[in-house]
Amino acid sequence: MWTRSALLCLPLLTGLAAPAAAQAPLSGVDWLSDVLAEPTRPDEPPVSSGAAFPEVTVRPLDMPMPDAIGLVPRSQTGLPADLWGKSSTEALARRMSGFPASALPAARDLHQLLLTAEVDPPKDAGPDGRLLLARVDALLALGDLSSAGQLLRKADAGVPAIFRRGFDVALLTGHEDRACADLRRTPGIAPSIPARVFCLARTGDWPAAALTLETAEALGQLTPEEDELLARFLDAAIADGAEPMPPIENPTPLDLKMREAIGEPLHGPALPVAFAHSDLHGPNSWRTRVEAGERLTRAGVYSPQDLATLYAEREAAASGGVWDRVAAMQEFEAAMEDGRPRPVAELLPGTWNTMRSAGLDHAFASLYGTRLAEMDLPPGAADLALRIGLLTPSYERIAASAEPSGAEAIFLVALARGMPGAATAISPLATAIADAFAEDPAPDLPATLESLRSEGKLGEALLVAAGRIARGRGTDYGTITGTLAFLRDVGLENRARRIGLELMLLERGA
Q: Burial-class residue 472 by CB neighbours within 10 Å (0-12, 13-18, 19+).
A: buried
Distances (CA, A) of 311 to 89, 153, 301: 43, 32, 17
Give residue-wise pLDDT tens across range 328-386.
999 999 999 999 999 999 999 999 999 999 999 999 999 999 999 999 999 999 999 99
Same domain for 276 and 146: yes
Same domain for 362 and 315: yes
Report field, pTM of the whole predicted structure over 0.85 = yes
CA dihedral 93, 94, 97, 103 (to 10 degrees): -120
Give residue-wise pLDDT tens across range 276-310.
999 998 789 999 999 999 999 999 999 999 999 99
Is 339 within a domain? yes
Q: Which residues contact 45 (CB under 8 A, 6 or more apart)?
A: 128
Look up the domain containing 71 and give its range: 64-188+272-280
Same domain for 509 and 414: yes
Same domain for 207 and 175: no
Predicted confidence at residue 28, as pLDDT, reads: 63
Is 38 within a domain? no
Give residue-wise pLDDT tens across range 105-156.
999 999 999 999 999 999 999 999 999 999 999 999 999 999 999 999 999 9
Is 223 within a domain? yes
Same domain for 92 and 157: yes
As a whole number of Å, the CA-based R_g of the chain is: 26
Is 28 within a domain? no
Predicted confidence at residue 38, as pLDDT, reads: 55
Q: Which residues contact 471 (CB under 8 A, 6 or more apart)?
A: 100, 102, 103, 104, 508, 509
Q: Given 341, 376, 397, which residue is the final one in a domain?
A: 397
Same domain for 203 and 126: no
Rounded Cα distance between 136 and 96, Å, is: 10
Same domain for 257 and 152: no
Same domain for 163 and 76: yes
Is 244 within a domain? no
Q: Given 344, 378, 397, which residue is the final one in a domain?
A: 397
Distances (CA, A) of 139 to 35, 109, 221, 273: 20, 12, 33, 11
Same domain for 196 and 119: no
Give residue-wise pLDDT tens across range 400-447.
999 999 999 999 999 999 999 999 999 999 999 999 999 865 567 899
Is 36 within a domain? no
441 cis-preceded (ω within 30 degrees of 0): yes
Same domain for 157 and 144: yes
Is 2 within a domain? no
* pLDDT average, residue stretch 241-258: 91
Predicted confidence at residue 439, as pLDDT, reads: 80
Total structural domains in the chain? 4
Same domain for 195 and 183: no
Same domain for 170 and 81: yes
